[in-house]
């Protein structure tokens, strides 16, 4: 027992000595930066990939490593741990982190329209009003964004859970393909395009149910950094963001399309060129739905609605004054 207690003491003392050193080291931010994405490399992050591959960061004197995200990887945590200086997170992640005391700010909103939509077959009546959802079998990822969005939609349409049949989404879209579900949540610009293509080959058409068309705005991916970094090195944050947004602006133009598709293909070769092209076109409509909209523009109203949805669904307990953490850099 004495030996055991000695071992525990040794572990604790070692931690006390080691951990602050790494904390101090993470305070030093030079021009070598890490930009952690939310998900794996695909057409959804075409602008981020293009910024890296075409030297936009280098032109600003920055050496940025763009790292893919994935299951279990969370940019906010990476930022707090000092492993990344910039990242991409969804609005719900940002708001939930702020409620728990994270020091993060949003410096750009990449998606002006949330790519999370529901796909349904075109042989079904078009959903024109929320009442049209009555009797539908709807796929929802319990605990996910789509769960909160769908609950808000149903409440807005004065529908209860008994008016629809909720089907749990678990990793694959089999229930939708087997016609056990009428509406299935997809990322419009990635899965949406692939599923549309797959069903087209079977002679079936599809439509998309977009919550935004029914007044439910839930903000998707945004660029984040720490409040501390912005306060200490605003110039660095500005340089990073201007390089990134310029790359995104260029990536969404027809002149750069082939170069962008090639850059994406280098990192995401798992799909065919035609699908990738369609995915890029779909991404454009979400990133820059209107030529007058500047990429990165923060939709304050959308963020406030997202916050109120999260409160209503019990995902956060109190408001986080989200407007104070949205920094629209000119």
Partner 1 sequence: MLFRRIYQFMIVYVIGVIFLWMIKLSLGLSDYVIPGISLLKDTAEEFGTGYFMDVVNTLSVTVLGQFLSIIMAFTVGIAGRKSSWIGSFIKVTAYNIQAYPIVALAPIIFILLGDGFLSRLLIASMICYFPLLLSVLGIMATPVTDIEHFYIVTGRMRWQLEVKIRAFENLSKLTTVIAGSATLAMAGTIVGEFISANAGIGYSIRIALYQSDMAKILIALFMIGIIISIYQGILESMGEHIKHRWSIVNKGDEL
Q: Does 194 bind partner 1 (CB under 8 A)?
A: no
Q: Does 210 bind partner 1 (CB under 8 A)?
A: no
Count residues binding partner 1 (CB under 8 A). Answer: 34
Give how far Cα 127 sits from Cα of 123, 132, 237, 271, Å. Answer: 12, 5, 43, 30
Q: Does 10 bind partner 1 (CB under 8 A)?
A: no
Widest CA span in the chain: 74
* Region from 56-64, 89-97, 186-194, 195-203 binding partner 1, contact rule CB under 8 A: 89-97
Give how far Cα 82 sits from Cα of 62, 77, 118, 166, 270, Å. Answer: 17, 9, 36, 40, 32
Q: Rounded to an integer, what distance in angstroms lies between the CA atom of residue 91 and that of residue 220?
A: 6
Q: Does 15 bind partner 1 (CB under 8 A)?
A: yes
Q: Mark residues 59-88: x for contact with partner 1 by CB under 8 A, - for none.
A: -------------x-x-xx--xxx------
Which residues from 298-327 bind partner 1, rule CB under 8 A? 315
Q: How far is the CB of 87 from partner 1 (least distance, A)?
A: 13
Q: Does 100 bind partner 1 (CB under 8 A)?
A: yes
Q: Does 141 bind partner 1 (CB under 8 A)?
A: yes
Taking the least distance from each CB to partner 1, the nearer of 103 and 304 is 103
Output the six-digit token pair for 27.
């305070």
Q: Does 238 bind partner 1 (CB under 8 A)?
A: no
Q: Does 272 bind partner 1 (CB under 8 A)?
A: no
**DSSP run (H or E) holding 120:** strand 116-121
What count of other Cβ atoms lies within 10 Å of the Cβ of residue 118? Answer: 28
Q: Does 26 bind partner 1 (CB under 8 A)?
A: yes
Q: Does 168 bind partner 1 (CB under 8 A)?
A: yes
Q: How far is the CB of 128 from partner 1 (least distance, A)?
A: 31
Query: Which one among 97, 106, 119, 223 touches partner 1, defined by CB under 8 A?
Result: 97
Nearest to 62 by CA among 78, 86, 38: 86
Q: Does 270 bind partner 1 (CB under 8 A)?
A: no
Q: Does 102 bind partner 1 (CB under 8 A)?
A: yes
* Region of 302 on the Ramachandran plot (φ > 0 left; ψ -120 to 50 alpha; else beta): alpha
What count of other Cβ atoms lies within 10 Å of the Cβ of residue 161? Answer: 10
Q: How far is the CB of 12 from partner 1 (least distance, A)?
A: 7
Q: Does 114 bind partner 1 (CB under 8 A)?
A: no
* Region from 43-51, 163-171, 234-242, 270-278 binding partner 1, contact rule CB under 8 A: 163-171
**DSSP run (H or E) holding 150:** helix 145-156
Q: Rounded to an integer, what distance in angstroms lies between the CA atom of residue 68 and that of residue 82?
A: 17
Exposure class string for 280-318: b at 16+ Cβ within 10 A, else e? bebbbebbbeeeeeebbebbeebbbbbbebbbeeebbee
Q: Does 103 bind partner 1 (CB under 8 A)?
A: yes
Query: Which one among 142, 205, 231, 328 touches partner 1, defined by CB under 8 A?
Result: 142
Q: Rounded to an integer, what distance in angstroms lies between the CA atom of residue 113 and that of residue 213?
A: 10
Q: Does 242 bind partner 1 (CB under 8 A)?
A: no
Q: Rounded to an integer, what distance in angstroms lies between the CA atom of residue 89 and that of residue 69?
A: 10
Taking the least distance from each CB to partner 1, the nearer of 43 and 93 is 93
Taking the least distance from each CB to partner 1, the nearer of 49 and 164 is 164
Which residues make up the interface to partner 1 (CB under 8 A)?
8, 11-12, 15-16, 19-20, 22-23, 26, 72, 74, 76-77, 80-82, 93, 96-97, 100-103, 141-144, 168, 170-172, 174, 315
């Amino acid at each position: 027992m004495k030996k055991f207690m000695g071992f525990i003491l040794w572990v604790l003392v070692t931690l006390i000595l080691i951990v602050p050193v790494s904390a101090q080291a993470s305070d030093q931010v030079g021009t070598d930066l890490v930009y952690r994405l939310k998900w794996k490399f695909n057409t959804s992050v075409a602008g981020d990939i293009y910024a890296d591959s075409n030297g936009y960061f280098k032109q600003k004197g920055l050496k940025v490593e763009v790292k893919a995200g994935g299951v279990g990887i969370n940019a906010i945590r990476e930022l707090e741990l000092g492993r990344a200086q910039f990242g991409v997170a969804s609005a719900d992640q940002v708001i939930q982190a702020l409620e728990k005391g994270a020091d993060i700010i949003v410096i750009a909103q990449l998606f002006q329209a949330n790519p999370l939509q529901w796909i349904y077959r075109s042989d079904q009546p078009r959903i024109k009003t929320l009442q049209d959802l009555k009797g539908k079998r709807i796929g929802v990822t319990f605990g996910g964004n789509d769960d909160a969005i769908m609950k808000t939609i149903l409440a807005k349409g004065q529908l209860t859970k008994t008016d629809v049949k909720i089907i749990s989404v678990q990793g694959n879209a089999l229930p939708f393909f087997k016609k056990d579900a009428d509406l299935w949540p997809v990322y419009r610009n990635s899965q949406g395009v692939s599923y549309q293509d797959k069903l087209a080959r079977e002679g079936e058409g599809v439509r998309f149910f977009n919550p935004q068309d029914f007044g439910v705005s839930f903000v998707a991916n945004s660029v984040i950094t720490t409040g501390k970094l912005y306060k200490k090195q605003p110039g660095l944050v500005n340089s990073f963001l201007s390089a990134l947004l310029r790359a995104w602006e260029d990536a969404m133009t027809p002149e750069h399309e082939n170069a962008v598709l090639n850059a994406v293909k280098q990192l995401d070769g798992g799909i065919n060129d035609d699908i990738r092209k369609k995915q890029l076109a779909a991404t454009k409509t979400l990133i820059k739905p209107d030529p007058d909209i500047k990429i990165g523009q923060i939709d304050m109203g959308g963020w406030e609605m997202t916050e109120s949805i999260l409160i209503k669904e019990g995902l956060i307990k109190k408001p986080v004054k989200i407007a104070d953490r949205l920094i629209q850099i000119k």
